[in-house]
Structure 1
Amino acid sequence: MKTAGNTILITGGGSGIGRELARRFNDLGNTVIVAGRRLPALQDTIDGRTGMHAMPVDIEAPEAVRAFAGRVIAEFPSLNVLINNAGIMHREDLTRSRELGKAEDTIVTNLLGPIRLINALVDQLRTQPDAAIVNVTSGLAFVPLCHTPTYNATKAALHSYTVSLRDQLKGSVEVIELVPPAVQTELTPGQSTRDGYMPLNAFIGEVMTLFLRRPTPKEILVNRVEFLRWAERDGHFEQAVELLSAH
């Protein structure tokens, strides 16, 4: 993936990993559009910067995604990189019947959202030089945290979808998967200061080093996520599940 001179759209750009990725790519000389539900948070991301733009989007509504994609293409016809980063995470108790609103919202945001946005922008991306799609999954796609079952399932599904997408777009659009470990962000309450989680700045620094490699790895894996990514291959899957549950 080319790391300078792109026009990049990043979802979930109002906080956490999305905000820091947007700023780092902007620092490298890219035009960056940050998208998300909350315009004030997006404006905070781009405040005082040149070559950055904020565009709100509600990815829960298919028609809103199509309209948003049309607006992005109209205003930024050189768009050539999409980074699907938006996500939500909820704890769930599966031991009794419950309302499924949070589970359904998680599926829409974490899985249907990227699928809808890729579908709306793939024709645009295929016409652009140096086009790329980056899907942000999670180490929990490979080893589940049993308290957040729907989140884990959506990230596992997005990993699988990314593999298929990479194969089908081979030769026209580069497809990369970014796999974070537990990072100190605002994804869940208290997570930004939680002991044992990877500091956000350290995570982003390692990620950007990996993006600068040539060729770009098809999976961006910081050292801390390797234990989860290769747990099944290396024969410690059950141990990893137990460790996550205990933590």
Structure 2
Amino acid sequence: MRTSENTIFIPGATSGIGLALAIRLHDAGNTVIVGGRRAELLDEISKLHPGLDTVQIDTADAASIASAAQDVIARHPDLNVLVTMAGIMRVEDWTSPAGFLGTAEEVVTTNLLGPIRLIGAFIEHLRAQPDATIMTVSSGLAFAPLGVTPTYNASKAAVHMLSESIRLQLADTTVRVIELQPPAVRTGLLPGQENSSFAMPLDEFVDEVMMILAEQPHATEIQVENVKFLRYGEARGDYDHVVATLNRLDPHAGA
């Protein structure tokens, strides 16, 4: 993926990694459209960052995705990058259905159905572009589980395999599929994560992501150094140690 002269839609970018990446991509010379559910947050972003365009979208709602896609494409017919950023992380108690079922369904709807529906809404348009990219967002927890967030882990593992699979199907098209794999980053994904000593500072994470995009334009997995401990535990043969360390260090180490 080139780092400038793109038109990029990032739903789920009103805070955290999404917003930080949107600002950095805009500063690098891209047209960036930020998507989010809350109109007041979008208005605030427009005021603070007048170069960013915004659109209201609820990625847990199929009709909202379809409507927003029509709006974005109409306003930005040269759109060539979709970043499926939106996601939620919830702590669950799987010792009884009341402790996890409703939450698990919500996580799957947002974290898995959301990207599937987004890609479905934009794929025809992206395939018509001479150079297009779909950036999915998984997690280090796709490769090593945090015990308190089972469905989040599973949803991100599914996003990883989805990315691998659609990359194969789109190999002979103009659309590239790349997968951003964050480690724990100091955002509000889980309560208290902004101050977690285990989590990576947000600015450092985005700095490294932008460096990787610039230096490795053909990379299919965007991996900062901090995520490799989780990503390659099984390949290194120390998976059990990785899982034990992850769950001992920080019970709310979101990623």
Task: Tell me if TM exceeds 0.5.
Answer: yes
Matching of residues 219-230 of structure 1 within 5 Å = 219-230=221-232
CA contact (8 A) 2:12 2:86 kept: yes
Q: TM (normalized to structure 1)?
A: 0.96
SS, match of residue 145 in structure 1: coil
The 3 A distance-change label for structure 1 pair 197 and 214 is closer
CA contact (8 A) 2:5 2:29 kept: yes
CA distance in 2, matches of 1:216, 1:190: 35
The answer to whether structure 1 residue 5 and structure 2 residue 18 are counterparts is no
CA contact (8 A) 1:207 1:222 kept: yes
CA contact (8 A) 1:30 1:51 kept: no
CA distance in 2, matches of 1:167, 1:213: 23
CA distance in 2, matches of 1:44, 1:216: 35
Superposed displacement of residue 45, structure 1 = 3.1
Superposed displacement of residue 127, structure 1 = 0.7
The answer to whether structure 1 residue 59 and structure 2 residue 59 are counterparts is yes
Matching of residues 188-199 of structure 1 within 5 Å = 188-199=190-201
More divergent stretch after superposition (46-55 vs 180-189): 46-55
1:242 to 238, 241, 244: 244
CA distance in 2, matches of 1:244, 1:149: 14
Matching of residues 163-182 of structure 1 within 5 Å = 163-170=164-171, 171-182=173-184
SS, match of residue 66 in structure 2: helix
Matching of residues 26-175 of structure 1 within 5 Å = 26-98=26-98, 100-170=101-171, 171-175=173-177
Superposed displacement of residue 63, structure 1 = 1.9
CA distance in 1, matches of 2:45, 2:236: 40
More divergent stretch after superposition (162-171 vs 176-185): 162-171
Task: Report % sequence identity.
Answer: 49
More divergent stretch after superposition (18-27 vs 170-179): 170-179
Superposed displacement of residue 97, structure 1 = 2.8
CA distance in 2, matches of 1:55, 1:215: 28
SS, match of residue 175 in structure 1: strand
CA contact (8 A) 1:165 1:175 kept: yes
SS, match of residue 35 in structure 2: strand
SS, match of residue 41 in structure 2: helix
Q: Which runs of 5+ in 1 are unaligned?
A: none
CA distance in 1, matches of 2:66, 2:15: 24
Q: What amino acid sits opposite 1:223 in the alignment?
A: E
Cα displacement string for residues 77-136 of structure 1 (whole angstroms, at most 9, x for unaligned residues): 111000011110011111223152211110011010000000010000011122001011
Q: Which runs of 5+ in 2 are unaligned?
A: 250-255
CA distance in 2, matches of 1:215, 1:197: 26
CA contact (8 A) 1:88 1:106 kept: yes
Aligned length: 247
CA contact (8 A) 1:39 1:54 kept: no
Superposed displacement of residue 48, structure 1 = 4.1
Q: What amino acid sits opposite 2:121 in the alignment?
A: A
Q: What amino acid sits opposite 1:246 in the alignment?
A: R
CA contact (8 A) 1:31 1:52 kept: yes
Superposed displacement of residue 235, structure 1 = 0.5
CA contact (8 A) 1:57 1:65 kept: yes
Q: 2:207 aligns to what?
A: 205
SS, match of residue 47 in structure 1: helix
Q: TM (normalized to structure 2)?
A: 0.93
Q: CA RMSD in A?
A: 1.2
